[in-house]
C-alpha cells in the first residue's frame, strides 16, 4: 500500500486530495467538500494537511465544513493550513466570530513567506463558550495567542516535501516531492517460508536471515521500494507564472487547476512530456454528480409528484483529448517504479444504488391552490450534511423576492442545481443563530448575488463584515441585526477583534417594506442569541420558524394561529435526554408546541444523522408519545397523523398546499428502507 493516491474532487473549483498510508494532503477546499466526502464515502487519513493555491472564495468556502468533519471524526489534531498571504487574516475572522472557532481552536495557519498564526491549545475563552455554553464577559476576556515566527519557506514531513512557487497574483503553485517509501513486507513470503516470530525479529534486526544453508536478505521479503517522485499542482493565472516553474526529479504528473487557454500555456503542455491532468475540464460521468442520492430520489419523486419535487438531468460527456481530463471522484494511483501513467479506479459509492420502494400514487395534474408564496426545503439535516440531506436552509419565494431561513453550507448549490432561481432578485437571509450548520453558506450568496439583505443576531455582524471586506464585495449588501441586551455592537466588534467595522445598515422597518412582509422574532432556548421568526405575508398568510430550540413558550406565543409552523425535531422522544442536553427538540415536543400554538400545519425538519433517510418520524410512530405532556394521546396522535409534514430536501409547495402534503410525507417515510 505504499502508494500515492490522487483523488480529484470537482466543486466550484477543482480540489485535490493526495493520500498516503497515514496522511492526506488536500489542495483547495471549495464549498460542498464536506457533503462530497459524505456522498461518496471518501475518508481522509488520520492526519490531514491543507494547502491553498488561491484565497478566492470559490477555493476556500468549504474549509470550515471540512474542519468540522475532521473535528467530528477526531482527526483534527495536527492539521495545519498553508497558503498565500492573507490566510491568517481570514482565519482570525473565522475564529473570533465563533463560527468555526470550535473546529479551528487548536489549529495554526501558515502563509508561505508570510505570517504565522498559532493558537494556544484550548484556551480559556473558547472553553467557556463552547463547553459551558456561556457567553464570555467583556472584561477579563483572553485574547488569542498570536505568535510571530520565522516565515515558512516550505513544508516537509516523512512522506513529502512541498515547495511553494508564489506567483505575482498571490496564487501559488506547489512542487510536491514524495520521499522514497520502503516497500511493505509481503506476508505471503513470510508465510511461505514459515518464519516464526523470533525469526521475523531476527530478520528485521539483521536485515537478513539464514534458513537452512540459504541466506535471505530483507529485500527478498519486501515489495519494491517506491522511489522519489515529483508532482506539480499548478495554479497558473498569467503566462508569466509558467516561467517560475521548477521541475522536480522524476516528475510524474502535472495537475492543472486552471484550463490552459493561451498559446504559451498550451506550448508548455506540449513541451513537458509527462501526464497532464486538466482538473478544470470536467468529463461528466456517472460518478461526477454532486448530491447523487438526493438527485436520484428527487427524480423518482418528480415522476410521482411533479409539483413538489424537481427533476435533475444527467448529461454525461466524454471528450477525447490527448491530455487526461478531469474525471470527478476517480482515484489515480501513482505507480511505483516509474511505470508510466495512471491506473484509474472508479469510486466505490454510486448514487444510483439506493434501495427505494415503489410508491403507488400519481398526483393529479389539477391544482387548486391560490397562494403566491412557495416554500422549499433546501436542507433538512442537523449538524453536518449526509447523503440524503443537506444542512439547514429553507427558501420562501415571493413574487419578485426571496427569503432564506438559515443558510448552511451548500445552500447556494442546492438552489443553483435546479436552474430556476434568479440570483439577482432581492434576497433576504435570516440567520437564526451562530452555529455553523445554519450559516456557513452565506459567502456564496455574498459573492454571487447582487441584492442581498441580512437579518441576523448581533453576534454574526463582525464575521459578515469581515467576509465582505475580505472578498471585496462591491454590490448591494445591507445588514440588519437583532440587538443583544448584554452589550452593544461596538463591544461585539471589540470582543471579536474585528479589523473592519464599517457596513451598510438597514433598519427592520425598511426591510419589511422592501420585502412587503411583517417580521417578528423572539429569543428561543438554544444558545446565546438564538431566535425564532414569524413572517406575516401581505395576503394574510403566515409562517413561523423555530431555528434550533428546546420547546419554548416564547416561540409558541409567536406562532399563535400561524398557517405553517416549521419546527426542528432533531431527535425522537426516546432520546429526549439528548434533546435536553443539546438544547434541541423531539418530535413529540414539536408536535405539542404546534398544538399549543394552534398552528394549522406543522413541518418537521433538522433531523439528526440517525434518521437521515426517513426523518425522525417513522420510529416515532411506533414509540408514540412518550414525553410528559398536558395533551392527551388522542389529540397528539391525530395532530401527528393529519397535520404534520416531514420535510425532505427539495420538497416544495405553495403555502396553502402544505396541509395536503401530509399524505405525501407519509409516502416518503415508506420510500427509503432504513
Ligand atoms: Zn442546527
Ligand atoms: Zn444550533
* CATH number of residue 523's parent domain: 3.60.15.10
Q: How far is the CA of 23 from the centre of ligand 1 (A)?
A: 31
The cell for 206 is: 539483521
CATH code, domain carrying 84: 3.60.15
Q: How far is the CA of 439 from the centre of ligand 2 (A)?
A: 10
Ligand closest to Cα of 393 equals: 1
Report yes or no on 520 lying in a domain. yes
- From residue 537, alpha-carbon distances to 145, 301, 372, 402, 661 in Å are 48, 29, 10, 13, 21
Average pLDDT, the chain: 83
Supply the pLDDT for residue 623.
46
Residue 449 and residue 470 in one domain: yes
* C-alpha to C-alpha distance for 370 and 304, rounded to whole angstroms: 22
Residue 160 and residue 274 in one domain: yes
SS3 404: strand
Q: Is the pLDDT of residue 674 over 60?
A: no
* C-alpha to C-alpha distance for 420 and 235, rounded to whole angstroms: 32
Residue 230 and residue 217 in one domain: no
Which residues partner with 283 through β-bridges?
327
Average pLDDT, integer, range 35-42: 81
Question: Under 8 Å CB-to-CB from 162, ≥6 apart: which residues?
Answer: 25, 51, 82, 154, 155, 156, 174, 175, 176, 177
The cell for 540 is: 394574510
Average pLDDT, integer, range 47-68: 90
Q: pLDDT band at residue 482, thresholds of 50, 70 and 90?
A: very high
Cα dihedral 386, 387, 388, 391 in deg (nearest 10): 30
Report yes or no on 83 lying in a domain. yes
Ligand closest to Cα of 382 equals: 1
* C-alpha to C-alpha distance for 46 and 668, rounded to whole angstroms: 37
Could you read off the pLDDT of 491-527 as tens digits, one per residue?
A: 888 777 777 889 999 999 999 999 999 999 999 999 8
Q: Is the pLDDT of residue 437 over 80?
A: yes
* C-alpha to C-alpha distance for 295 and 482, rounded to whole angstroms: 37
Average pLDDT, integer, range 3-10: 76
Q: How far is the CA of 435 from the centre of ligand 1 (A)?
A: 6
Ligand closest to Cα of 434 equals: 2
Supply the pLDDT for residue 219.
87
* C-alpha to C-alpha distance for 168 and 241, rounded to whole angstroms: 8
The cell for 440 is: 456557513
Q: How large a percentage of the chain has pLDDT more than 90? A: 43
Q: How far is the CA of 549 from the centre of ligand 1 (A)?
A: 9
N- to C-terminal Cα separation, the chain: 34
Q: pLDDT band at residue 150, thresholds of 50, 70 and 90?
A: confident
* C-alpha to C-alpha distance for 598 and 559, rounded to whole angstroms: 8
* C-alpha to C-alpha distance for 605 and 459, rounded to whole angstroms: 25
Supply the pLDDT for residue 350.
38
Question: Under 8 Å CB-to-CB from 491, ≥6 apart: which residues?
Answer: 138
Residue 461 and residue 532 in one domain: yes
Residue 380 and residue 492 in one domain: yes
Ligand closest to Cα of 570 equals: 1
Q: How far is the CA of 383 from the centre of ligand 1 (A)?
A: 5
Task: Say which residue the cell 465563533 belongs to.
Answer: 98
Which strand (E) or helix (H) includes residue 477? strand 476-482
Q: How far is the CA of 87 from the centre of ligand 2 (A)?
A: 27
Residue 433 and residue 561 in one domain: yes
Q: How far is the CA of 531 from the centre of ligand 1 (A)?
A: 12
Q: How far is the CA of 566 from the centre of ligand 2 (A)?
A: 15
Average pLDDT, integer, range 631-651: 91
Could you read off the pLDDT of 84-93 as tens digits, one per residue?
A: 998 888 877 7
- Where helices occur in 162-290 by DSSP H, the ranges are 187-192, 197-206, 218-221, 239-242, 263-271
Q: How far is the CA of 126 from the centre of ligand 2 (A)?
A: 17
Question: Under 8 Å CB-to-CB from 441, ≥6 apart: which residues?
Answer: 31, 393, 407, 408, 409, 410, 411, 412
Supply the pLDDT for residue 147.
55
Q: Is the pLDDT of residue 42 over 90?
A: no
CA angle 591, 593, 598 (to 5 degrees): 95
Supply the pLDDT for residue 227.
77
Residue 549 and residue 645 in one domain: yes
**Nearest CA among 618, 595, 619, 612 for reference residue 665:** 618
534 or 266, greater pLDDT = 534
- From residue 87, alpha-carbon distances to 111, 401, 485, 516 in Å are 6, 35, 33, 40
Report yes or no on 357 lying in a domain. no
Could you read off the pLDDT of 291-345 as tens digits, one per residue?
A: 778 888 888 889 889 999 999 876 555 444 455 554 444 445 544 333 333 444 5
* C-alpha to C-alpha distance for 44 and 9, rounded to whole angstroms: 13
Report yes or no on 367 lying in a domain. no
320 or 362, greater pLDDT = 362
Q: How far is the CA of 453 from the centre of ligand 2 (A)?
A: 22
Supply the pLDDT for residue 124.
46
Average pLDDT, integer, range 564-574: 94
Helical axes 587-597 vs 633-642, angle rounded to 10°:
90
Q: Is the pLDDT of residue 285 over 60?
A: no
Supply the pLDDT for residue 553.
96
Residue 412 and residue 336 in one domain: no
Ligand closest to Cα of 530 equals: 2
- From residue 368, alpha-carbon distances to 122, 301, 654 in Å are 58, 21, 11
> What DSSP letter does each residue of 71-127 carry, written as one string?
HHTT--TT-EEEESTTHHHHHHHHHHTSTTTTTTTT-EEEEBTS-EEEPPTT-HHHI
Q: How far is the CA of 438 from the centre of ligand 1 (A)?
A: 6
Ligand closest to Cα of 433 equals: 2
SS3 209: strand
252 or 392, greater pLDDT = 392
Among 196-200, 478-482, 639-643, name the one with the lowest average pLDDT: 196-200
* C-alpha to C-alpha distance for 644 and 630, rounded to whole angstroms: 19
Phi, psi of 282 (to 5 degrees): -80, 130
Supply the pLDDT for residue 627.
52
Report yes or no on 364 lying in a domain. no
Q: Is the pLDDT of residue 667 over 60?
A: yes
Could you tell me the residue range of the domain that residue 465 belongs to? 374-671
Q: pLDDT band at residue 154, thresholds of 50, 70 and 90?
A: very high
Q: Is the pLDDT of residue 426 over 90?
A: yes
Q: How far is the CA of 669 from the centre of ligand 1 (A)?
A: 22
Q: How far is the CA of 102 from the centre of ligand 1 (A)?
A: 15
Supply the pLDDT for residue 491.
84
Q: How large a percentage of the chain has pLDDT more than 70? A: 82
* Pairing mode of beta strands 4-10, 426-430: unpaired
Report yes or no on 648 lying in a domain. yes
Report yes or no on 365 lying in a domain. no
The length of the chain, given as a count of residues: 674
Q: How far is the CA of 432 from the centre of ligand 2 (A)?
A: 9
Helices and strands: H and E segment counts in the chain = 22, 31
Report yes or no on 362 lying in a domain. no
Q: How far is the CA of 622 from the centre of ligand 2 (A)?
A: 27
CB 438 within 8 A of CB 431: yes
Ligand closest to Cα of 607 equals: 1
Residue 524 and residue 575 in one domain: yes
3-state SS record for 13-31:
CEEEEEECCCEEEEECCCC
Supply the pLDDT for residue 120.
55
Average pLDDT, integer, range 575-592: 93
Last residue of a domain, one of 199, 221, 243: 221
The number of C-alpha atoms within 13 Å of 47 and in the hemisphere containing its C-beta is 10
Residue 202 and residue 156 in one domain: no
Q: How far is the CA of 406 from the centre of ligand 1 (A)?
A: 10
The number of C-alpha atoms within 13 Å of 511 and in the hemisphere containing its C-beta is 26
CB 341 within 8 A of CB 13: no
Average pLDDT, integer, range 268-273: 89
CB 298 within 8 A of CB 653: no
Q: How far is the CA of 253 from the centre of ligand 1 (A)?
A: 42
Q: Count the domains in the chain.
A: 3
Could you read off the pLDDT of 127-137 as tens digits, one per residue?
A: 434 333 334 43
Q: How far is the CA of 528 from the centre of ligand 1 (A)?
A: 13
Which residues partner with 449 through β-bridges?
none
Residue 194 and residue 147 in one domain: no
Residue 523 and residue 395 in one domain: yes
Q: Is the pLDDT of residue 287 over 60?
A: no
Q: How far is the CA of 550 from the centre of ligand 1 (A)?
A: 12
- For 483-491, which contacts have Cβ atoms below 8 Å and span 24 or more sequence positions? 483/458, 484/457, 484/458, 484/459, 484/528, 484/529, 486/135, 487/138, 489/458, 489/461, 491/138
Average pLDDT, integer, range 412-433: 94
Q: How far is the CA of 383 from the centre of ligand 2 (A)?
A: 8
Provide Rg for the chain, Cα atoms: 27
CA angle 56, 61, 66 (to 5 degrees): 135
Among 42-56, 244-258, 560-574, 626-640, name the one with the lowest average pLDDT: 626-640
Q: How far is the CA of 241 from the centre of ligand 1 (A)?
A: 44
Phi, psi of 276 (to 5 degrees): -105, 125
Amino acid at each position: 500500500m505504499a502508494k500515492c493516491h490522487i483523488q480529484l474532487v470537482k466543486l466550484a473549483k477543482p480540489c485535490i486530495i493526495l493520500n498516503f498510508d497515514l496522511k492526506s494532503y488536500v489542495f483547495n477546499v471549495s464549498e460542498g467538500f464536506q457533503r462530497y466526502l459524505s456522498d461518496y464515502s471518501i475518508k481522509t487519513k488520520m492526519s490531514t494537511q491543507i494547502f491553498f493555491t488561491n484565497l478566492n472564495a470559490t477555493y476556500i468556502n468549504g474549509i470550515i465544513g471540512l474542519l468540522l468533519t475532521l473535528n467530528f471524526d477526531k482527526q483534527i489534531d495536527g492539521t495545519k493550513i498553508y497558503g498565500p498571504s492573507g490566510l491568517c487574516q481570514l482565519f482570525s475572522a473565522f475564529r473570533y466570530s465563533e463560527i468555526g472557532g470550535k473546529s479551528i481552536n487548536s489549529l495554526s495557519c501558515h502563509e508561505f513567506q508570510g505570517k504565522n498564526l498559532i493558537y494556544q491549545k484550548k484556551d480559556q475563552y473558547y472553553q467557556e463558550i463552547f463547553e459551558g455554553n456561556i457567553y464570555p464577559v467583556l472584561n477579563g476576556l483572553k485574547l488569542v495567542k498570536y505568535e510571530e515566527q520565522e516565515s515558512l519557506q516550505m513544508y516537509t514531513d516523512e512522506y513529502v516535501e512541498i515547495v511553494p512557487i508564489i506567483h505575482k497574483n498571490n496564487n501559488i503553485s506547489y512542487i510536491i516531492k514524495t520521499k522514497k517509501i520502503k516497500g511493505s513486507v509481503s506476508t505471503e513470503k513470510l508465510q511461505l517460508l514459515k518464519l516464526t516470530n523470533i525469526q521475523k525479529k531476527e530478520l528485521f534486526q539483521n536485515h537478513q536471515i539464514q534458513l537452512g544453508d540459504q541466506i535471505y536478505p530483507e529485500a527478498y521479503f519486501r515489495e519494491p521500494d517506491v522511489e522519489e517522485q515529483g508532482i506539480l499542482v499548478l495554479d497558473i493565472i498569467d503566462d508569466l507564472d509558467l516561467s517560475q516553474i521548477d521541475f522536480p526529479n522524476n516528475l510524474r504528473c502535472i495537475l492543472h487547476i486552471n484550463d490552459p487557454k493561451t498559446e504559451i500555456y498550451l506550448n508548455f503542455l506540449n513541451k513537458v512530456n509527462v501526464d497532464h491532468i486538466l482538473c478544470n475540464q470536467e468529463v461528466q460521468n456517472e460518478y461526477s454528480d454532486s448530491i447523487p442520492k438526493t438527485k436520484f430520489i428527487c427524480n423518482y419523486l418528480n415522476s410521482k409528484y411533479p409539483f413538489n419535487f424537481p427533476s435533475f438531468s444527467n448529461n454525461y460527456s466524454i471528450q477525447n483529448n490527448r491530455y487526461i481530463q478531469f474525471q470527478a471522484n476517480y482515484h489515480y494511483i501513482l505507480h511505483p517504479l516509474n511505470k508510466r501513467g495512471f491506473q484509474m479506479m472508479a469510486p466505490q459509492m454510486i448514487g444510483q444504488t439506493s434501495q427505494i420502494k415503489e410508491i403507488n400514487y400519481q398526483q393529479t395534474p389539477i391544482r387548486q391552490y391560490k397562494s403566491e408564496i412557495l416554500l422549499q426545503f433546501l436542507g433538512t439535516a442537523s449538524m453536518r450534511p449526509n447523503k440524503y440531506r443537506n444542512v439547514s436552509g429553507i427558501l420562501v419565494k415571493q413574487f419578485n423576492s426571496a427569503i432564506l431561513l438559515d443558510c448552511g453550507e451548500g445552500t447556494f448549490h442546492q438552489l443553483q442545481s435546479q436552474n430556476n432561481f434568479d440570483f439577482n432578485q432581492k434576497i433576504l437571509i435570516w440567520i437564526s443563530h451562530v452555529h455553523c450548520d445554519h450559516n456557513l453558506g452565506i459567502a456564496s450568496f455574498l459573492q454571487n448575488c447582487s441584492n442581498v439583505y441580512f437579518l441576523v443576531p448581533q453576534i454574526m455582524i463582525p464575521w459578515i463584515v469581515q467576509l465582505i471586506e475580505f472578498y471585496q464585495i462591491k454590490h448591494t449588501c445591507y445588514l440588519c441585526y437583532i440587538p443583544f441586551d448584554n452589550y452593544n455592537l461596538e463591544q461585539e466588534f471589540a470582543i471579536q477583534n474585528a479589523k473592519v467595522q464599517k457596513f451598510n445598515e438597514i433598519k427592520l422597518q425598511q426591510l419589511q417594506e422592501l420585502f412587503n412582509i411583517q417580521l417578528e422574532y423572539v429569543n428561543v432556548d438554544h444558545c446565546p442569541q438564538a431566535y425564532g421568526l414569524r413572517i406575516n405575508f401581505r395576503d394574510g398568510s403566515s409562517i413561523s420558524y423555530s431555528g434550533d430550540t428546546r420547546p419554548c413558550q416564547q416561540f409558541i406565543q409567536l406562532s399563535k394561529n400561524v398557517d405553517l409552523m416549521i419546527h426542528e425535531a432533531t431527535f425522537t422522544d426516546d432520546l429526549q435526554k439528548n434533546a435536553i442536553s443539546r438544547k434541541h427538540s423531539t418530535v413529540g415536543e414539536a408536535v405539542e408546541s404546534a398544538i399549543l400554538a394552534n398552528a394549522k400545519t406543522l413541518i418537521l425538519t433538522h433531523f439528526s444523522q440517525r434518521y437521515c433517510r426517513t426523518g425522525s418520524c417513522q420510529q416515532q410512530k411506533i414509540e408514540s408519545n412518550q414525553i410528559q405532556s398536558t395533551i392527551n394521546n388522542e389529540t397528539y396522535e391525530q395532530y401527528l397523523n393529519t397535520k404534520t409534514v416531514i420535510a425532505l430536501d427539495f420538497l416544495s409547495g405553495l403555502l396553502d398546499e402544505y396541509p395536503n402534503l401530509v399524505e405525501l410525507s407519509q409516502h416518503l417515510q415508506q420510500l427509503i428502507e432504513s
